[in-house]
């Protein structure tokens, strides 16, 4: 009896050993031995894994791109390593794909591909959409739809119907396959992080919400080139509002023309639009661009001046005046300067 038991035990041990060796051999062949994949000539392959993708969805995508020879064997290789829940979402670059190991390692250990995008002060959302559309995987139209989503604006604490004005200018690092909504959320949340809560209280002193404060800030942003002039420009617009004068702000015209920014003509000032501050009194209906912190601060803390007018000097600075006569003289000086520059350019073109 003992002999039979011992033989049976030896048989079980032998079979178990063979199975164990077989498993290790199979695993070695399946996973560690490089599989020759299609498209070896490609130096780099970009894999776009959407958030929430299942292992089946990922393997199907890889198979359709001819990056793996079999869906089932790839999925088995992933499960054998216990990594089916470790696959990351994002855009990944795989250098010369030659094995399952390369792809699995990229999807579980590599950082998703990201880009650095700089959004400067004063850009309109349509301009931001074009910039993001070049760097990320969504279209400019998708981003513009997100900006116009009033329910999203409300959920993000924007006191107005769109996100225009609250897409805070900054240098960001975005994952390549982030959605348009995710990007917009990050930019608006950054606005709330950077802009102090005290600004909302200050806005109330003018009878404004932050929507109106940012609207004023966007006009200032459209005019200012140098930081030291922001509060003075703000004072001009505050003084005009207090006197019931129209703002007559050129940036509001730039907002409504389709081919801007460009030099404005007299006919542009006659465009029928609630944003035309040459035809309508008070602030326009909403922000006309996305201002930086300096302009938001200037909108709420204007300099104490008596200025009602300003005109560009041609060097980025402005001449500020209190009366219409002074303003007309300043405009004439600018026109003379433009003529001189134009003549100098013509002389330069004609020189040998």
Domain spans of the chain?
28-109, 114-194, 198-307
pLDDT at 253: 97
Name the class of domain 28-109: alpha beta
CA dist 313 and 334 (Å) reads 6
- Give the DSSP per-residue string, 230-244: HHHHHHHHHHHHHTT
Q: Is 226 helix (H, G, I), strand (E, B) or coil?
A: coil
Per-residue pLDDT tens for 175-204?
Answer: 988 999 999 999 999 999 999 999 999 999
Low-confidence ranges of the chain (pLDDT < 70): 1-18, 20-43, 95-98, 345-352
From start to end of the chain, where are the E strands?
44-49, 90-95, 114-118, 171-175, 309-312, 318-321
Per the rule left: phi > 0, alpha: psi between -120 and 50, beta: everything else, 311 is beta
From residue 165, give the alpha-carbon distance in Å to each of 19, 102, 178, 188, 263: 66, 44, 21, 9, 23
The pair phi, psi for residue 158, each rounded to 5°, is -85, 120
The model carries a pTM of 0.78
pLDDT at 339: 81
């Amino acid at each position: 009896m003992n002999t039979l038991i011992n033989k049976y035990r030896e048989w079980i041990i032998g079979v178990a050993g063979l199975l164990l060796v077989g498993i290790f051999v199979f695993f070695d062949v399946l996973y560690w031995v490089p599989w020759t994949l299609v498209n070896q000539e490609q130096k780099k392959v970009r894999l776009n894994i959407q958030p929430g993708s299942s292992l089946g969805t990922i393997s199907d995508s890889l198979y359709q791109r001819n990056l793996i020879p079999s869906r089932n064997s790839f999925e088995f290789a992933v499960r054998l390593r216990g990594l089916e829940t470790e696959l990351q979402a994002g855009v990944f670059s795989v250098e010369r794909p030659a094995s399952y190991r390369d792809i699995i390692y990229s999807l579980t250990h590599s950082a998703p591909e990201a880009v650095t995008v700089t959004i400067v002060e004063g850009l309109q959302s349509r301009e931001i959409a074009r910039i993001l559309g070049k760097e990320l995987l969504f279209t400019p139209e998708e981003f513009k739809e997100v900006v116009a989503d009033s329910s999203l604006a409300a959920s993000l604490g924007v006191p107005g119907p769109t996100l225009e004005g609250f897409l805070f200018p900054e240098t960001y690092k975005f994952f390549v396959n982030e959605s348009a909504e995710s990007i917009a959320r990050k930019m608006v949340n950054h606005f709330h992080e950077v802009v102090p809560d005290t600004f909302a209280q200050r806005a109330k002193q003018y009878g404004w919400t932050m929507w109106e404060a940012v609207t004023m800030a966007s006009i200032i942003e459209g005019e200012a080139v140098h930081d030291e002039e922001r509060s003075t420009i703000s004072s001009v617009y505050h003084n005009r509002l207090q006197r019931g004068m129209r703002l007559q702000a050129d940036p509001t015209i730039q907002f409504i023309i389709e081919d801007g920014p460009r030099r404005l003509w007299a006919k542009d000032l006659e465009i029928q639009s609630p944003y035309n501050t040459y035809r309508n009194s008070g602030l326009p209906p909403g922000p006309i661009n996305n201002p930086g912190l300096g302009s938001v601060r200037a909108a709420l803390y204007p300099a104490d001046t008596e200025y009602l007018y300003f005109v560009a000097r041609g060097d980025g600075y402005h001449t500020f005046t209190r009366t219409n006569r002074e303003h007309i003289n300043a405009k004439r000086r600018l026109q003379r300067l433009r003529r001189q520059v134009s003549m100098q350019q013509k002389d330069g073109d004609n020189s040998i």
